[in-house]
Amino acid sequence: MMEINTCHRRKLHFVHNPKAAGMSFRKWLGLDNGVNHGFPTSNTPVEIWNAYTTIVVVRDPIERALSGYRHLTGEDYTGAFRRLYPDLPSWDPLTFFSRMFNEQIFVVGPQFKYAMHLHSNKAPDFLLKFENLDTSELANRLKIQEPFPKENVTKSRFQVPVSEDLYLALIQHYRVDYLLYNYRPKPYDNFMREQEVLAEAS
């Protein structure tokens, strides 16, 4: 499966962190043989991790989690999890996160697991942030001239009804991501107001 994320000709390995511009990167990098969301430790030979140019993109943990919720519970989603959970579109946020975190380790799992290999001390060569993507250095290294595409852009961003208890639980669940990638959780009321504004604007 790791071959899906690897270009041996360019000695390139892309770690596909879900809901963090992964499909855009796959198109831009020419990795069009499928999708693999596995963690590097179990998914990537350590020799490739150490020798190849590795790319990882991270995103604000809560925004990423809610993007995953919107995507997987949407009526348009017909992927593997819809077949596994036929009632998935009816799941409220608490049901979704409780079940997915307990039953499916790759559904918006903690991002630090995508940015490390337990059999190596090497960090990713490119650790980029979704919120302010700058692919210029990577494009220069890989000699890519095509502009960076925008795939899977959400057309409608509805407000997810997240209770304060669930919000705090999500912050706790992603606490290592907050620590490592310099994200800061907003106060709950500020977060909900921001979600409302963004939903109205979409």
67: pLDDT strictly greater than 60: yes
Q: How far apart (Å, rounded) are the C-alpha atoms in residues 122 and 138? A: 18
- This model's pTM is above 0.85: yes
Q: What is the pLDDT of residues 83-98, one digit of tens each?
A: 999 999 999 999 999 9
Q: Express each pLDDT in 153-188 by its tens digit.
A: 666 677 899 999 999 999 999 999 999 999 999 999
Q: Give me the amino acid identity at 143.
A: K
**Nearest one of 196, 43, 23 to 118, comparing CA atoms:** 43
pLDDT digits (tens, 9 = 90+) for 189-200: 999 999 888 888
In 3D, which of 26, 39, 58 has the Cα closest to residue 126? 58
The dihedral sign for the CA sequence 78, 81, 87, 93: negative
Average the pLDDT over 36-46 and give the result. 91
Secondary structure string (H, E, C) spanning 52-98: CEEEEEECCHHHHHHHHHHHHHCCCCCCHHHHHCCCHHHCCHHHHHH
- Residue 85 corresponds to which tokens in the numbers above? 């959970």
Which H, E and C letters describe the chain, residue by residue?
CHHHHEECCCCEEEECCCCCCHHHHHHHHCCCCCCCCCCHHHHCCHHHHHHCEEEEEECCHHHHHHHHHHHHHCCCCCCHHHHHCCCHHHCCHHHHHHHHHHHCCCCCCCHHHHCCCCCCCCCCCEEEEHHHCCCHHHHHHHCCCCCCCCCCCCCCCCCCCCCHHHHHHHHHHCHHHHHHHCCCCCCHHHHHHHHHHHHHHC
pLDDT classification of 41: cutoffs 50, 70, 90: very high
Rg (CA), the chain: 17
Mean pLDDT of the chain: 92
